[in-house]
Amino acid sequence: MEMTTLTMVLFLLSMLWSVSHGFVPPRTFRSSLSRSGSNNYLTTEELWFNQTLDHFSPYDHRQFEQRYYEFLDYFRPAENGPIFLKICGESACNGITNDYISVLAKKFGAAVVSLEHRYYGKSSPFKSLSTENLRYLSSKQALFDLAVFRQRYQESLNLKHNRESTENPWFVFGVSYSGALSAWFRLKFPHLTCGSLASSAVVLAVYNFTEFDQQIGESAGAECKAALQETTKLVEQRLASNGKALKKLFNAGECKAMKKPLLLIMDAERFGYVCSWRLMAISFIFWQDAAVTAFQYGNPDTLCTPLVEAKNAGEDLVDAYAKYIKDYYLGKFGVSVQTYNQKHLKNPAVSEGSGDRLWWFQVCTEVAYFQVAPSNDSIRSSKVDTRYHLDLCKNVFGEGIYPDVEMTNIYYGGTKIAGLDT
């Protein structure tokens, strides 16, 4: 009866989260997720697990150390309490956060474990993140990581409590990309889990994700949308006439020119800055990416109020927008301009900022989510197109790197994903 209650709770939570979180998170948000203070964690004690590097090769027996965490304060092993596997996604995993899962764990006497995604954080198999070494970075390998870890942890738990062949009920949790992993884990390994909470799960890989901007426009409302569209036009005009001054206005000085013409896209629909090669482009092109952050994470007024007020008062919209980016997106939200610098993305060294390169590799090989402008009534600049994204993938990772979206959706089922009801 208690497990049935838990399953119903997970279902209701998934419905709530799917309504309140409707977008793919900006790539820059990953770093914010991994910078929580120590008081926000149930535990930060690092544990290590020897993981298989290539689950699909019968000949490659190499392993790497994968970081994980466990929290057992609420666990009731005598009652065969459940195991909550909290999946870490595309960022460093610095502990088990103290959130709604801890409430559920206390109620149901559950253990909570969390496995860091391969390559991210301290779970890198290689000392260099060259394109060649990244060939083992995929959602498919990550799912097998979870399956192997789940089996080994269950075995160690049985040994610890002097039990034989006992199977605790396992439930998996994830948000956004890790939400997709949660759903896909239930799909591919139904015998290893009783249920999955896949919050805002991006289970459908999308090549040209025009719906992204369309949703932002609807969420913004008529006044704010018009202000954003006008801001976009003004920014494009100023970049053409005085790009250097505009770059300085938006604190984009870290995006330095290289040996060839450089295209700076400050994507405020995703709100950040993208330094990108364009052989024929000489100007810097501004675009909105910070707007997504304002809408997705519950602060639309932070962006819309100053923009609409500036527009109604006949004040400079670009100045108002720049202030929002510097005060909120770069300031309070803590995003770094470097996140979108292709020189940074091309750096194969393992470092605290490696997650940017790693996620772009997954974008460029599996899921795309290219946030391009809709053909009509767009907030985003039309200059941020499919060709731009494909050029980025090629420039950062080399020839032959592109997202095989069709194969990803065939493998996982896209929106027609179907798990096993038990």
Predicted pLDDT at 337: 72
pLDDT tops 90 at residue 53: yes
- SS3 category, 87: strand
Give pLDDT tens digits for 166-214.
Answer: 899 999 999 999 999 999 999 999 999 999 999 999 999 999 999 988 8
Domain boundaries, the chain: 2-205+410-416, 207-402
Contact 123, 66 (CB under 8 A): yes
* Percent of the chain scoring above 70 in pLDDT: 80
Is 275 a residue whose pLDDT tops 60? Answer: no
Q: Look at 288 and 299; give whichever has higher pLDDT.
A: 299
Average pLDDT of the residues in 267-276: 36
pLDDT of residue 269: 34
Rg of the chain, C-alpha, whole Å: 22
Nearest CA to 367 among 321, 411, 305, 325?
411
- HEC string of 239-302? HHHHHHHHHHHCCCCCCCCCCCCEEEEEEECCCCCEEEECCCCCCCEEEECHHHHHHHCCCHHH
In angstroms, rounded to a whole number, what is the distance separating the alpha carbons of residues 359 and 129? 12
pTM summary value? 0.85
Tell me the H-state helices in 297-349: 300-312, 317-324, 342-345
Q: Coil, strand, or helix at residue 66?
A: strand
Mean pLDDT of 400-406: 95
Whether 262 contacts 255, CB under 8 Å: yes
H/E element holding 68?
strand 63-71
| Residues 6 or more apart whose Cβ sits within 8 Å of residue 124 | 64, 350, 354
pLDDT at 396: 94
**What mean pLDDT value characterizes the chain?**
83
The pLDDT value recorded for residue 201 is 92
Give me the phi and psi of 225, to 5 degrees please. -60, -45
Q: What pLDDT is recorded for position 76?
A: 96
Q: What is the pLDDT of residue 77?
A: 94
Quote the percentage of the chain above a pLDDT of 90: 59
Reported as a single tens digit per residue, the pLDDT across 256-266 is 433 333 333 33
Non-local CB neighbours of 354 within 8 Å, separated by 6+ positions: 119, 120, 124, 129
pLDDT, position 342: 83
Residue 286: which pLDDT band, with cuts at 50, 70 and 90?
very low
Mean pLDDT: which of 27-41, 98-112, 385-399 is highest?
98-112
- The per-residue pLDDT for 259 is 33
Give the distance from CA 197 to its chain's centroid.
Answer: 17
pLDDT of residue 4: 62
Assign domain 2-205+410-416 to a CATH class: alpha beta
Q: Do β-strands 262-268 and 274-277 pair in parallel, antiparallel, or remain unpaired? A: antiparallel
Q: What average pLDDT score do residues 294-316 get?
A: 93
Question: What whole-number distance in Å separates Cα of residue 126 and Cα of residue 128?
Answer: 5
Mean pLDDT for 15-37 is 44
Instruction: Summarize the confidence of residues 325-331 as an average pLDDT.
Output: 86
Question: Residue 273's pLDDT band (boundaries 50, 70, 90)?
Answer: very low
The whole-number pLDDT of residue 419 equals 62
Between residues 267 and 173, the one the model is more confident about: 173
Identify the residue with better confidence: 291 or 40: 40
**What band does 60 get if pLDDT is binned at 50, 70 and 90?**
very high
> pLDDT at position 338, please?
75
